[in-house]
Amino acid sequence: AKAEIDQRICYYEHDMDEAARQRRAMAKDLWTAVEKDGFHLAYQVQKSVTTGRITGYEVLLRWDRPGHGPVPPSEFIPLAEECGAISAIGAWVLNNACQEAARWPEPHRIAVNVSGLQLAQLELVDLVKSVLEQTGLAPARLELEVTETAIISDRQRALAVLGAIKALGVSIAIDDFGTGYSSLDTLRSFPFDKIKLDRSFMTEVERDEQAKAIVRAILALGKSLSVPVLAEGVETLEQLDVLRIEGCTEAQGFYLGRPGRIVWPELKQIA
Ligand code: C2E
Ligand code: CA
Ligand code: CA
Ligand code: CA
């Protein structure tokens, strides 16, 4: 039995080495992607629930890893945070998103995701400022999406950074709302411009009364704080109908539009 256990530990260690080796290889490719413009951006439309008009686009990072194909952000963003590449990647996203949006024929707002590690750095304020200056994008057209977990690591610093960015005229949305562990406290400590209701709440909302009750409560909370609520992950017309009835302001999800590249008719004709 002892030998058997030793053998199992051996296999386990071998697997660990292999996993570590793969992560190192991926981290190396990530750094190359940063240096060589190996990323691109997808945009997902956000719409008014009542009028159906476009209210903005969320910017989503895409990485087609050479020799491997597309890697989901849920895989490479945590790795980028670990290996220290997230600041460079975050700067790339902000810069390219603002540059692209500044050339759009319609002045739609863009919502850019910001990692918690970026929020902990005062340099983020200077980055946002210089990107806006260099691209000429109006500050009102930029929104940053931050998660509660991002704010929790260094609360005072994060709130100071957000305050300074908001002072530039950029709006701040709280992302994945309802999934963190101190949602209400976070909401009280900063004047967010938007609440993004996590998409887990949309599942079953049209069938399950309890799910609906929670959505209703968060919408009421937004209303009493005068903060608009955007519902994420809307996949069906039935879900959208519930949101309309319950008085939700904005929505985003596969039913309204999948993330993709934006091809404007005006730009297409030129190309
Ligand atoms: P997120 O910020 O919550 O972004 C929304 C995610 O939900 C996107 O996944 C989007 O494709 C997906 N989604 C949108 N509508 C629906 C729907 O109706 N149903 C379902 N099932 N999913 C939907 P994606 O693009 O894979 O991104 C995953 C996460 O990676 C994002 O979650 C965000 O946390 C992170 N991420 C993406 N781009 C960036 C970035 O540029 N910077 C940072 N720091 N994080 C990013
Ligand atoms: Ca987001
Ligand atoms: Ca989200
Ligand atoms: Ca998320």
What are the pLDDT digits (tens) for 180-228? 766 788 898 899 999 999 999 999 898 889 989 999 999 999 999 999 9
Residue 7 scores a pLDDT above 80: no
Quote the percentage of the chain above a pLDDT of 90: 76
Q: Looking at residue 153, what is its pLDDT?
A: 77
Q: Is the ipTM of this complex over 0.90?
A: yes
pLDDT tens digits for 105-114? 999 999 999 9
C-beta of 72 in contact with ligand 1 (< 6 A): yes
Closest atom, ligand 1, to C-alpha of 254:
18
Among 77, 174, 234, 235, say which to mutate for ligand 1: greatest number of ligand atoms within 8 Å of CB: 77
Render 230-249 in DSSP notation, one character per residue: EE----SHHHHHHHHHHT--
Neighbours of ion ligand 2 (CB under 5 A): 113, 145, 175
Q: Looking at residue 163, what is its pLDDT?
A: 97
Average pLDDT, the chain: 91
State the average pLDDT over residues 6-20. Answer: 70
Higher pLDDT, 184 or 27: 27
Confidence of residue 263 (pLDDT cuts 50, 70, 90): confident
Q: Is 202 helix (H, G, I), strand (E, B) or coil?
A: coil
Indicate the range of 63-67, 176-180, 250-254 predicted with least confidence.
176-180
C-beta of 203 in contact with ligand 1 (< 6 A): no
Residue 10 scores a pLDDT above 70: no
C-beta of 198 in contact with ligand 1 (< 6 A): no
Long-range CB contacts (within 8 A, 24+) of 59-62: 59/93, 59/97, 59/110, 59/111, 59/112, 59/113, 60/113, 60/259, 61/89, 61/93, 61/113
- Sign of the CA dihedral with 25 first, then 81, 89, and 194 last: positive
Task: Measure the CA–CA gap between 191 and 210, rounded to whole angstroms.
Answer: 29
Global pTM value: 0.93
Q: Looking at residue 58, what is its pLDDT?
A: 98
C-beta of 73 in contact with ligand 1 (< 6 A): yes
